[in-house]
Structure 1
Amino acid sequence: MKKCLFTAFLIILSALCAVGGQAASPSANDVSPGNISSTSYILIDAASGLVLCEKNADRKAYPASTTKILTGALALEKGELDQMMTATAAAAADIGPDGMNIGLKSGEKLSMQDLLNATLIYSANDAANVLAENLAATRQDFIDMMNAKAKELGAANTHFTNASGIHDAEHYTTARDLSLMARYAMTLPEFRKIVTKSSYTMSKTNGHEARQLRTVNKFLKETSDYFTRVDGIKSGFTSPAGWDLVSAASNDSGMQLIAVVLGDHSEKEVDADSKALLEFGFKSYSVQTLADVGQYVQNISISGAEPDSAAVVAETKLSAVLPNDQGKWDIKKNIQLNSDIKAPVKKGDVLGTLDFVVGGASLGKVNLVSDRDIGAKVVAYTTFGTKTENTAPKLQESVTPAQPSAGKDVQQAVICARTGIAILVILFAVLIINPGKRAKYPKRRYKIRY
């Protein structure tokens, strides 16, 4: 028995080490994407937000038309695609020096869907203005909502003064903040759908015939041996800002990365830098399993049960983008158990959570569940009235607990009944027959005469 218990202990210890192995991302100082012309960039995992590499990611920069990422995301939050909107003279005119536009006219009516596609695909400043004016009481109110949303997403070093990205000294952001806004926008299905389009056909309006718009984001056509498709999302340019590009790409394993490159000197340069960043990410990182379904995590105490502890396992599988070089993994596991866990507990009951954290950022979280049914203690009384604690069957050393047999329960009941009857008979005999009297009056012996 001792040998079996020792073997079980070694198995549990091995499983704990398997889950508890280190796993995470290195800091930006540990890796380098090679020759990047831009002096401000960042590369993140779209699923977790984990930073894979960065340079001057918190330095203030002008976003130009990458501003429209948040304009479009906020429009999808506040409006409906079939909502009709009206262009004002101010919205049509306020496009900035040489600003992109679709020539909207005062009083022209368009659907939000058309305006959103014109904003994100063709980068039309007038379309962005019409969205802002029709989704808030005033255009400034919409801009205020953009700033509030940026802060909500953690973009603490961002301030917008317009919805289109027209240059303004007080209209600024950072590479890190843009990655946060882009990551959020890419969680919206309609946004993802729009930013991958190479063209869009506008509906006929009271001011224009139907017309086709082609994307200004040439990076959508980019190919690579390391990623299978480009998923968008937005380019931008003004003379003070230089060439900016926020891009996303995926590979066959479902890994998606987001790159932000700011302030390059040409469109060709910003596209090359973005490709180099993304390829570095796909070459150096891959999807790794942090926890698998039913994987042992640890034993926990359970009040009112016998035994008073049980194993918890991962309810679901969890994977994350991590370095291929496992020597750079550095992960922390935060286990949060429910307070005052008491028996009975059923197999599959959620008893806590396991969060995998790197540098303060969560890679993901899984529920911790019981791997078996745990019975509660039951108070019972013996034949003599002595109070005992009867419990559910003890947990076996294997994962599946042994179940009590109905036949054994009946046999035990019969044995107890017979034992009780035998004890009562003995007590009765002792009370009725007094051996003391037998000793006092011995039998007389009679002599038989013939």
Structure 2
Amino acid sequence: MKKTITFILLFLLIYSCSLHNIYAKETPPAVSADSAVILDAATGQLLYSKNPDSPYPPASTTKIMTALLTLENTNLNDKVVIGKNPPAVEGTRLGLYPGEEITVRDLLYGLLLASDNDCAEALAEHISGSMDKFAAKMNARAKELGAKNTNFVNPTGLFDENHKTSARDLSLIMRALSKTPEYSKIATTTSYTIAPTNKSAKPRTVWNENKLVQKQSMYYYSGCEGGKTGYTIQSLHSYTATATRNGQELIVALIHDKNKTFFKDSISLFDFGFNNFQLTKLYSKGDLVTTYNRNKLSIPLIANSDFYYVKQKDDKSIPHLNIQNKNLSFKFFKIGDVVNKATVYFKGQNIGELKLSSGVNHTEKQILDSDVIQNLVMKNKYSIPIMAVFLTAIVIFTIRKFIYINK
């Protein structure tokens, strides 16, 4: 009897294996940092995390926020007059002089390549007038990006017990920075020479400390488009970088690494992300998503933007949409106006919202000629007052819209 049962079980096991492909799922790499993530840049989805929201002092990875605010609030050719404080800052310095005139571009190269603290303070003073005001601007921008465990005190990353961020928050900041047109050009430059200024007779050269973009380095990673290291004795090592492969951009962030393995660990994280996940386009802007049909009214609903999602490479599941139940019969709009939205679910999880635009015009005349209005007129003995109220509402709305457009 036992032999028969064993034979049947063995037969069923072999048979089931012959019917289904078995996909091995790669184990996420072990990393030294106490807080680490892989973020998909297009969707903001975390593909890997280790204590993603635990705040730690980030050292000079802070400077990616300083760079972001600089690129968002200045022109690269703007001239900066150096105050008395930046030249006296602790740590790594370019060697700025009080009263020196230097461009924002030159300061950014010093900031991002060599992690010069005097460049960070000079940019902060140029943008906000003081360190405190710039720190407030840093925190406000971090909050806008969705960073919930961040508090910046300075633009350099010099240790302060109140100066902290998490790996998730750092990746969100890098995500925003990587979208700026000039960032990758600066961050992948091997070296940059700053021409003589009114205070420096000699040119000064800065070298890129990010080994993932150095082709001669054992840590060179093809597709890396920038990164930033950070270290102080109290903060330990931190690192964040961005890389692109086959149209997919990933961001890694590691904070509080006591073993200084962040370059190697970042490569492992990038490889894990690219090998196991793929960015998939669900809709392109302008695609027909569905057609609204109600009361003999037919309106093509069009994707207002591209919509992407990330899935494991062996996953055959597809997202589904939950379209908001809206009555469009009494609304008037033009082609391209957003008239509805859909929540997108993938494997039971809400992965985002897709705005839906109208593919046709829907005018006041069409509303008045619709079956709904005609039925009101024919069937309701109070149709005249109803029509009067309805027409008044349309007139008021039209006037308000005209006034708003012509303000």
- Which TM class, normalised by the smaller chain length? 0.7 to 0.9
CA deviations on 1:10-62 (whole Å, 9 max, x unpaired) are xxxxxxxxxxxxxxxxxxxx985122222310111111111111010111211
Contact 1:315 1:369 in 2 (8 A): no
Give the counterpart letter for 1:70 in structure 2.
Answer: M
Match of 1:212 in 2: 205
The question of whether the paired residues in 2 share the 8 Å contact of 1:300 and 1:311 is answered with yes
Kindly indicate whether the alpha-carbon contact (under 8 Å) linking 2:43 and 2:308 is maintained by their aligned counterparts in 1.
no
Distance in 2 between residues matched to 1:64 and 1:167, nearest whole Å: 7
Q: 2: distance between equivalents of 1:88 and 1:143?
A: 18
Q: Secondary structure at the match of 1:213?
A: strand
Q: What is the one-letter code of the residue matched to 2:307?
A: L
**TM-score, with structure 1 as normaliser:** 0.67
Q: 1:231 aligned to 222, 225, 230, which one?
A: 225
Gaps of 5+ in 2: 1-24, 371-377, 379-407
Aligned residue for 2:383?
none
When normalised by structure 2's length, the TM-score is: 0.73
Q: 1:135 to 1:310 in 2, by over 3 A?
A: closer
CA 1:148–1:372: 2 relative to 1, 3 Å: closer
1:326 deviation in Å? 1.9
1:341–1:351 contact (8 Å) kept in structure 2 = no
Q: Residues of 2 paired with 1:193 and 1:103: CA distance?
A: 24
Structure 2 vs 1, CA of residues 301 and 68 (structure 1 numbering), >3 Å: closer, same or farther? same
1:262 matches 2:226? no
Are 2:35 and 1:40 aligned? yes
Alignment of 1:71-150 (within 5 A): 71-95=66-90, 99-150=91-142
**Amino acid of the structure 1 residue aligned with 2:175:** R
Paired AA for residue 120 in structure 2: A
- For the residue of structure 2 that corresponds to 1:135, the secondary structure is helix
The structural deviation recorded for 1:378 is: 5.5
In 1, the alpha carbon distance for the partners of 2:117 and 2:334 equals 59
Distance in 2 between residues matched to 1:134 and 1:343, nearest whole Å: 49
| Residues 271-300 of structure 1 deviation map (CA, whole Å, 9 limit, x = unaligned) | 111111111100111122313577664442
Matched, 1:159 2:147: no
Q: Which residue of 1 aligns with 2:388?
A: none
Q: For residue 215 of structure 1, report the CA deviation from its aligned partner.
A: 0.7
Q: Quick one: which amino acid aligns to residue 231 of structure 1?
A: E
Shift of 1:240: 1.6
Which whole-Å CA distance do the structure 1 matches of 2:302 and 2:351 have between them?
19
Q: Return closer, same or farther for 1:324/1:116 CA change in 2, 3 Å cut-off.
A: same
**Equivalences for residues 334-345 of structure 1 within 5 A:** 334-336=322-324, 339-341=327-329
Match of 1:395 in 2: none
The offset of 1:256, in angstroms, is: 0.2
Q: Distance in 2 between matches of 1:184 and 1:133?
A: 22
Q: Amino acid of the residue matched to residue 116 of structure 2?
A: A
- CA 1:84 to 1:347, structure 2 compared with 1: closer, same or farther past 3 Å? closer
What percentage of aligned pairs have identical amino acids? Answer: 32
Name the counterpart of 1:246.
Answer: 240
Structure 1, unaligned runs of 5 or more: 1-29, 380-386, 388-450
Question: How far apart, CA to CA, are the structure 2 residues paired with 1:69 and 1:79?
Answer: 15
CA distance in 1, matches of 2:136, 2:286: 47
Q: In the alignment, residue 236 of structure 2 is paired with which amino acid?
A: G
Give the CA deviation at 1:352. Answer: 2.7
Residues 411-440 of structure 1: per-residue CA shift (max 9 Å, x gap) = xxxxxxxxxxxxxxxxxxxxxxxxxxxxxx
What whole-Å deviation, never above 9, does each CA across 1:173-193 have from its counterpart, x for those lacking one? Answer: 111111111111112112232
